[in-house]
Amino acid sequence: MAVLTESDLHDRFPWSKPVVPALSDQDKADGYFCDPQPWDFAEPVLKLIEQMFLEIESYFANRNEPVEIAIYGMQELFGELQVEMYCPHADVYAIVRRYTRLSRDLFQDEDE
């Protein structure tokens, strides 16, 4: 069985690729933004992210709308999945918050 990777998820959900804003040289020098870090998650966390992406995609499909979300990065912070994103739909933030809570058990299992 193949191992799930960040690249697999970006191929399946092209809208999930991290957005890198266009910055001036001065903004870059001032350190306002850095390049997205590659994900370093165990496969159970990647599977959880996959489920979150499926639910986000389903939300937009049920509304007959294109997926409208910008993801700037994902990382583990304080024992949970942190998703840096923008979306004009509060329901999508609720989906992400739910998966953030679910991720706590997975990160706790990694520590044991």
Report if residue 41 sits inside a domain.
yes
Report if residue 44 sits inside a domain.
yes
Report if residue 97 sits inside a domain.
yes
The C-alpha atoms of residue 12 and residue 90 are separated, in whole angstroms, by 24
0.75 surpassed by pTM: yes
Q: Which domain holds residue 39?
A: 6-111
Report if residue 13 sits inside a domain.
yes
Report if residue 39 sits inside a domain.
yes
Report if residue 1 sits inside a domain.
no
The C-alpha atoms of residue 25 and residue 15 are separated, in whole angstroms, by 26
| Consecutive 10-residue averages of pLDDT for the chain (112 residues) | 85 90 73 74 93 97 96 91 94 97 85 56
Where do runs of H (alpha helix) occur along 1-112? 6-12, 25-30, 43-62, 90-111
The structural domain count of the chain equals 1
Report if residue 73 sits inside a domain.
yes
pLDDT, position 29 = 72
Report if residue 49 sits inside a domain.
yes
pLDDT, position 112 = 57
